[in-house]
Amino acid sequence: MKQPYLPGILGGLGPMSTFYFCELLTKHTLASCDADHLDLLVSSRASTPDRTAFILGKSKADPLPAMIEEARRLADAGASLIVIPCNTAHFFYDGLQKASSVPILNIISETVRYLKHRGIGCFGLLATEGTVASGAYHRLCEPKGIRCIVPSAEDQAELTSLIYDSVKQNRKPDLAGFRRISQSLLNQGCECLVLGCTELSLLRREGLTQSLYVDSLEVLAYRTLTLCQKPTVDFPADFSCMSEDPL
């Protein structure tokens, strides 16, 4: 049998979603004692330059060198799989994977793979301006025949404020506004909505429980656990469709 991966979490992008991801890994592992849980190596380099600001040309501070340094630090410490709980950071995925000696799990491709398994033909993307501008979801969806709809410019600005001015600052988010943006996407024919920013995953703690939301961070947690050969518990039942997918 293949040796299980030792995952290294390349985090700090942002810090709160990094440790919420660790919480998900622990919460969703079927365990009867400490030793049944997943061994983890965690880097939380919060000082990494802002991804969206660089992608949009608002900053010349390139996040990639810091990300490469942390990926190498994790690999040198023994990590055999790198996991990044941040969608926007995957703009730099190709350069990071080229510089990494170990495989990197891709949160966007794994989420799109899940949508394909579910037979989703059209979804709405709730994400940062950087992720939207990068077109990362669109590029992976189009070959699979899946439509990706993004919010209007006005709704995206409101969503950006919710991410940066509320969640990242540990302030109570405007869920009513968020639900209005969500409804606008549903009115355009979306079958589900992807939480394509791991800060938005934290809205689960605020009561965002509807099944119409596909949480990219939950997908990443499920794939991390199954690839590391850990039994899972309390994930959505249809996540099992991904169990046999190779890395």
Task: Give catalytic residues, as residue numbers.
Answer: 86, 197
Look at the block and give the residue holding tokens 């995957």.
90
Cis peptide before 145 (omega within 30 of 0): no
Reading the block at residue 148, the tokens are: 């990706």
Residues near 4 by beta carbon (within 8 Å), at least 6 away in sequence: 228, 229, 230
Please state whether 15 falls in left (phi above 0), alpha (psi between -120 and 50) or beta: alpha
Q: Cα–Cα distances in Å, from 90 out to 52, 138, 189?
A: 11, 13, 27
C-beta separation of 197 from 130 below 8 A? no
Q: Which amino acid is at 180?
A: R
Q: Which two tokens stand for residue 233?
A: 């518990």
Residue type, 169: Q
- Read off the DSSP letter of residue 49: P
